[in-house]
Structure formats: structure tokens, C-alpha cells
Amino acid sequence: MSIVLVLGLAVALAMDCFAVSLGLACGRKGLTARQAVRMAFFFGAFQCGMPVLGWLAGESVVRLMAGVDHWVAFGLLAVIGGRMIYESFGLSEEEKASRPDQTRGGPLLILSVATSIDALAVGLSLGVIKAGILYPAVVIGLVCFALTILGAKLGPVAGRIAGKRAELAGGLILIGIGLKILISHLRG
């Protein structure tokens, strides 16, 4: 595969991760460097690993998931986005400061899976055309890492533009990503 094709594929797969990191950074008035790198590492690792899993799993496993993968991604993103929207209206500043970090533990794992499900199908496609998987997977992971960091850095700017409702905007971004995934699969 040419570098241009692999980079195009990597950027397309990483856009969800960029938008999620932008939304979380917007809603939290920015992420620390540690949070941004942790999120970028997990997103990049999942984006790198899922194509390999798809390539190894073959058609049967991916076909089983194809009917529900978009619903799973939508559901996970809608739950996290909905919680952010709810919290933007109902929590005091003290309660917001004490809530769990979305870049750790279960929430990070859920976001990593939700944003990388499409990469599983890409891995299957690369296996079908008998393309190698390691080079594209590494490039996909690295591009995802970089775009996640970029989203985390641009989030505070978006937060300042959105003002007091930055967390509302972040939640809407996550739900929008979920809807985009759902609609694109239902149309296809």
C-alpha cells in the first residue's frame, strides 16, 4: 500500500478520536498533558490493534459484529455524551471538580473501543485484499495519537468560544460522532 493511501486511511479513522479529545478537553476546560498523552496512547493503541484483530479474525467474526458494531459505538458515545450534557446543567462547580476523570479506567476503555470499532473492519478489508497489516496498523496508531493530542490542545479554545456551556458542547460532539457512525452504517 502506498504511503498516501495509508495516511488517508489513518486520518479518516483518527477523526473520531480527534473529535472525542476535542470534546473532552472542551468540557473539562482543558486536559493536563498527562491526561492528553494517556488518552492519545489508549486511542492510538486501540486504533493500531483493532485492524490487526480484524485482519487475524477473518470474515466470520467481523460479519457477526457487522450487524451491531455501529449500535455499540453509538450507544457508548451517547451514554458518555449524555452524562456530560446532564452534568453541564445539574452539577455545581464542586461536584464537577470531584467527578471521575474521563481519561482513566472504564470511561477511557469505553471511548477507546467506541472510536476504534471501524478499524476492525479496515483490518478485515486489508486481509481480504491480501495487504500486509503491520505497517498500516502502526501508521494508523501514530496518526491517531497525534490527532488526539491536537484535539486535546484545541479543546480549550473551543471551550472559551462555547463559554459556560463548553461541557454541553463536548457532550453534543460525542453524541454527534455516535450519530455519524450510526447513520453511515445504516446508509451503507
Mean pLDDT of 61-79: 73
% of the chain surpassing 70 pLDDT:
82
> How crowded is residue 160: how many other Cβ atoms within 10 Å of its Cβ?
12
For residues 59 and 125, give the distance between their C-alpha atoms in angstroms, rounded to a whole number: 9
- Is a pLDDT exceeding 80 seen at residue 27? no
Q: What's the pLDDT band for 182 if we cut at 50, 70, 90?
A: confident
Burial classification of residue 174, based on how many CB atoms lie within 10 Å of its CB (0-12 exposed, 13-18 middle, 19 or more buried)? buried
Q: What's the pLDDT band for 37 if we cut at 50, 70, 90?
A: very high
- Is a pLDDT exceeding 60 seen at residue 93? no
| pLDDT on residue 94 | 59
